[in-house]
Amino acid sequence: MSKKIKLGLFGFGCVGQGLYNVLNQTEGIKAEILKICIKNADKKRALPAEYFTVEKNEILFNDDINVVVEMIDDAEAAFEIVKTALQNGKAVVTANKKMIADHFVELYELQQQYNVPLLYEASACASIPIIRNLEEYYDNDLLGAVEGIFNGSTNYILTKIFKDNIDFATALKQAQDIGFAETDPTLDVEAYDPKYKLCIILAHTFGLFVKPEEVFNYGIQNLSTFDIQYANEKGYKIKLVAFCRKVDNKIVAGVLPRFIKPENKLYNIENEYNGILVESAFTESQFFAGKGAGSNPTGSAVLSDISALTYNYKYEYKKHNRGAKVELTDNFSVDLYVRYSTANPIDTKLFSKIKESYANTDSAYVVGTINFSDLRKSDLLKRKDINLIVAADSKFEAIQNNVASSKEAVEIC
Amino acid sequence: MSKKIKLGLFGFGCVGQGLYNVLNQTEGIKAEILKICIKNADKKRALPAEYFTVEKNEILFNDDINVVVEMIDDAEAAFEIVKTALQNGKAVVTANKKMIADHFVELYELQQQYNVPLLYEASACASIPIIRNLEEYYDNDLLGAVEGIFNGSTNYILTKIFKDNIDFATALKQAQDIGFAETDPTLDVEAYDPKYKLCIILAHTFGLFVKPEEVFNYGIQNLSTFDIQYANEKGYKIKLVAFCRKVDNKIVAGVLPRFIKPENKLYNIENEYNGILVESAFTESQFFAGKGAGSNPTGSAVLSDISALTYNYKYEYKKHNRGAKVELTDNFSVDLYVRYSTANPIDTKLFSKIKESYANTDSAYVVGTINFSDLRKSDLLKRKDINLIVAADSKFEAIQNNVASSKEAVEIC
């Protein structure tokens, strides 16, 4: 019934070592590691030397190996490995979100062409089984939205800021010191990492394959003490929220910081935890939370994928294969807080409606309704003295003939 | 690839009607309703008369029908329907937790014998896909615990008590008035309903089939304003928590009210929502939340089961079939708050350790460590002037030679 898995691993860092340990400890999963491809042959390893090789073809063309687990950093090198493995009829498990987002259509087609599964639960929100749930449990066309905190590093930084009342630079430094943020934190802090995950979520939520370049991302790099004080005064926290949502039969998507009220379930998602809200016509709001980063949560998702392969599980991409036409749109309105230097005013004509404005001698802000497609073209995005945060009560409304449609208005709570 | 589902429904209340509507609205799920068996032929229905029958065999022996959806209240009548359907090779979807808990082994064996699936996601925590996740995603032997709020009615009552500062009787009345509690609320209030759900969860978490009688349940029926005030003073809420947990390679399980601190994810699960914490060696704590009652959340789970049947999904009961020997034990210690009338003292020898005690002229309480098997035999359970609540920081520790083993100690946070 369930088949024996013979594994070839690429990379043997924390996740790989954890995987080795757990496979040794659990009788339930019939899988063994045959070979591990590493870059540095000289590094001391916890396993006997015969496990290791520096030659990738010893795994990719090894007939005894039926599953490849790819755990290397370089997205392009990873893609070549995954592609060759699939072409050789080997199932693949990966956590490489950038690789998937960059090559999603090719990877989808390779799976169809060679009839082998590629599983990647660990790529989006690590330990939270969101892809499997979207694929299997919410396999209908009733999904309305998926949104949440997809990045553990920035959530750790934002948690420190609000808990310890420190500024962004100090919090970033602390996160780097304990290994929760990279030395070059751009991918996390500027919201590229959650965007790659959002691209994966989009395919399994709405059947939509998009290139990362098509999806808007704005991070927390410009967060100032002024912004933090504004949030504190209102009783909000700030979270970096990735969202995708059906509005007027099109899909809106992006990653932006957002003010979060205490009654929002994301408010209490702290540190390296991720949280995901799934809205469906019948279930209303479902909530998932768990650790979104770290070798154990990632390892557990990899393990679950390996286990699923023992009973020949594969993603069926049901929403995509159903063939319903959906497309991404930027033609929707959002309520935005825009903070800028008082000395360097912004063009308020960008806003169709201004709800709040304030200025002191240094800083000023406007809260107003803006067309998302205007925002994406705006030079506000380039200015270092500006920060953008989605308003806590923002609606995402379709714009038709310059009139926001109230029919499809949805509140985010 | 996916097969066409022809449905026979038993019962046509809110869930059934919602199901009919959604099947009409969604193109994604290839299922149609052929026949609906109802009790009362004279009641006015929203569908044409030819859909309805009062004769159950018109569904059970109808060769065109391949899936039976059972949505009636009576657990014994439901079991006869489900049994006959399975014996006739029809897949069954049900939400009837009592029926499953009462006849679990028979239902498991019927599925094996006739090789037909019985799905029941809606039976435990309605819209939360907990069974599917335990079965498919956490299909390994690394699970340590599953616990949470499994009953929407009592959670609604407890939410009202703490939000509006009212007493139990008033809150129960309010819940009954808006339909969130039954006229006879015993099943919910005395924690039988969450116990049935726990029996289902036990099979999919640890592979353990137990009779409901074997599992301890203590509800919120004796909750007094004194208890509520105690919780308020400490900054706690009280939640009715069902739990199962591996302690020293045995399983402890039960349903009891528990004091909950603000940092516990269950603290913010309010009204009719349910929340579930899943602890696994590698994922640490995973959290699921969603509506646990109501026709839409229940309908959505039924819908997901129907959809799963289009690709021949069935529960594999992997943990049970793996054959690992696990058994339920009551031989563990728990920290308990016991409130009683000062006029009618309790025997404090029950406690191996007393951590706190208090008395005024009317009410008194003790917080102490107690052996769960002693508690189950104790006459404390029968006294109406007594209430039992698990302490917020209680550990569940195995007891060996009357010495609590610290090795397996686990904190609930």
How far is residue B268's CA from residue B225's CA, in Å, rounded to a whole number? Answer: 21
On whether the CB atoms of residues B120 and B220 are closer than 8 A, the answer is no
Q: Which residues of A are catalytic?
A: 197
Task: Return the pLDDT at A204.
Answer: 97
Write the burial class of residue B226 (CB in 10 Å: 0-12 exposed, 13-18 middle, 19+ buried): middle
Q: Encode pLDDT of A226-285 as tens digits.
A: 999 999 999 999 999 999 999 988 999 999 999 999 989 999 999 999 999 999 887 778
Of B283, B291, B297, the CB nearest to A300: B283
Cβ of A321 under 8 Å from any chain B Cβ?
no
How far apart are alpha carbons A375 and A352 in whole angstroms? 12
CB contact under 8 A, A133 and B136: no
Distance from B282 to chain A by nearest Cα, in Å? 5
8 Å CB contact of A140 and B307: yes
DSSP string, B24-61: HH-SSS-EEEEEEE-S-TTS--SS-GGGEES-THHHHT
Residue A169 at interface with chain B, using a CB cutoff of 8 Å: no
Q: Which domains does chain A have, with CATH numbers?
A: 5-119 (3.40.50.720), 129-291+324-413 (3.30.360.10)
**Confidence bin at A295 (pLDDT 50/70/90):** confident
* Beta-carbon separation of B286 and A127 below 8 A: yes
B358 touches chain A (CB under 8 A): no
Give the confidence band of B180 by pLDDT, cuts at 50, 70, 90. Answer: confident
- Min Cα distance B407 → chain A (Å) is 18
Residue A151 confidence (pLDDT) above 50: yes
Tell me if chain B has a CB within 8 Å of the CB of A140: yes
Nearest neighbour of B142 by CB, restricted to A26, A287, A316: A26
Mean pLDDT of chain A: 92
Nearest C-alpha neighbor of B374 from the set B341, B342, B336: B336
CA torsion sign, A308 to A311 to A314 to A316? negative
Q: In this predicted structure, what is the pLDDT of residue A180?
A: 83
Select the more confidently predicted residue: B322 or B70.
Answer: B70
Q: How far apart are CA A288 and CA B130, in angstroms?
A: 11
> Helix, strand or coil for residue B183?
coil
Are B153 and B293 in contact by the 8 Å Cβ rule? The answer is yes
Angle in degrees, CA B106, B107, B112, rounded to 5: 95
> Would you call A307 an interface residue with chain B, using a CB distance cutoff of 8 Å?
yes
The burial class, CB within 10 Å (0-12 / 13-18 / 19+), for A142 is: buried
Q: What is the ipTM of this complex?
A: 0.88
| Number of C-beta neighbours around residue A114 at 10 A | 16
**Distance of alpha carbon B199 from the chain centroid:** 8
Tell me: pLDDT of B410 over 70: no
CA nearest neighbour of A127 among B4, B166, B245, B283: B283
Short-list A162, A260, A241, CA closest to A201 = A241
Number of A–B residue contacts, CB under 8 Å: 135
Per the CB < 8 Å rule, is A282 touching B265? no
How do residues A317-330 score in pLDDT, each as one tens digit?
989 998 778 899 99
